[in-house]
Amino acid sequence: MLLHIPDVLTPAQVRACLDALAKAAWADGRITAGFQSAQVKHNRQVPEDHPVARAQGQVILAALERTPLFVAGALPQRVFPPLFNRYEGGESFGTHVDNAIRQARTPPMRVRTDLSATLFLSPPDSYDGGELVIEDRYGAHAAKLPAGHMLLYPASSLHHVRPVTRGARIAAFFWIQSMLRSDEQRTLLFDLDTAIQQLGRDVPDHAAVVQLTGVYHNLLRLWAEV
C-alpha cells in the first residue's frame, strides 16, 4: 500500500525545520547505506546523532502521534528516529531496497523495517527532478509531494530518487515496525477502518458500525504482534 499523508507538519514547522537544517553539518549519505545501496547512493545527510537531527526528529515523531491517517495506515509499534537528506547538483539514489533491520543509536533500538516513510520538506517548485519512484506489482509510481506531506510505502519495495537538476530537495526519512508484518493485512485493516469511519459519518446510528468495529478489532487481535 502506498499512502499519501498530507499536512504531517504545519508550514511553520516546515520552515523551522529547514532553518535548523541550514545550520547543521551535512555528511556523505552513504554513512547509513548498506553495501548494495552505497553503490548507487549520491546525496548528503545530517548525521544521526547530530543535535539538529535529534531535535527535529522529535518534532516529527510528536506530529505523527497526532496524525490519525498515519496511525491507521502504519499501525506502528516502533518508529526509527527520523533522518534528513539533501539532494542537489544532479545527486540521486539509484534503485535499491531498504535493509530489513535498522539499528538506531539514539535511543538504542532495533527496528524491523516493515514500512518506509519520506516526509517532503522542500516546496516542490523549488527544485527540478527528485521524484521518489516506488515499484510494485502495478508498475512504477513517482511522487513529489508538497512540503509537510509524507509518503508511506512498503520497505520491501524497490525504489529510487531521480536526479535533482535544479535547487535542493530536502526531506526526512525513516522506517516503521508495524504491529502487522504483512502489507496485505495492513491494507485490509486500513480499508475496513476507512469504510467504518465513512459509514459512521453517513449513518451514525447504524448497528453495523459497532459490528464492523468488532470485526476490525478482532482481526487486529488475531494478527498483531505486540
Q: Which pLDDT tens digits describe the chain residue by residue (226 residues)?
A: 999 999 999 999 999 999 999 999 999 988 777 677 778 999 999 999 999 999 999 999 999 999 999 999 999 999 999 999 999 999 999 999 999 999 998 788 999 999 999 999 999 999 999 999 999 988 999 999 999 999 999 999 999 999 999 999 999 999 999 999 999 999 999 999 999 999 999 999 999 999 999 999 999 999 999 8
| pLDDT value, residue 192 | 98
Cα angle for residues 167, 168, 170 (degrees, 5° grid):
155
* Co-location of 49 and 127 in the same domain: yes
What CATH number corresponds to the domain at position 155? 2.60.120.620
Phi and psi dihedrals of 151, rounded to 5?
-115, 130
Full residue range of the structural domain in which residue 166 is found = 3-178
* Co-location of 66 and 112 in the same domain: yes
* Co-location of 31 and 103 in the same domain: yes
Instruction: Retrieve residue 115's grid coordinates.
Output: 514500512
What CATH number corresponds to the domain at position 218? 4.10.860
Q: Give the global pTM.
A: 0.95
Q: Which of 127, 10, 3 is nearest to 70 (CA)?
A: 3
Mention every residue, 6+ apart, whose C-beta is less than 8 A from residue 94. 39, 40, 41, 160
| pLDDT value, residue 34 | 67
* Co-location of 194 and 123 in the same domain: no
Residues in the chain, total = 226
* Co-location of 72 and 142 in the same domain: yes
* Co-location of 34 and 110 in the same domain: yes
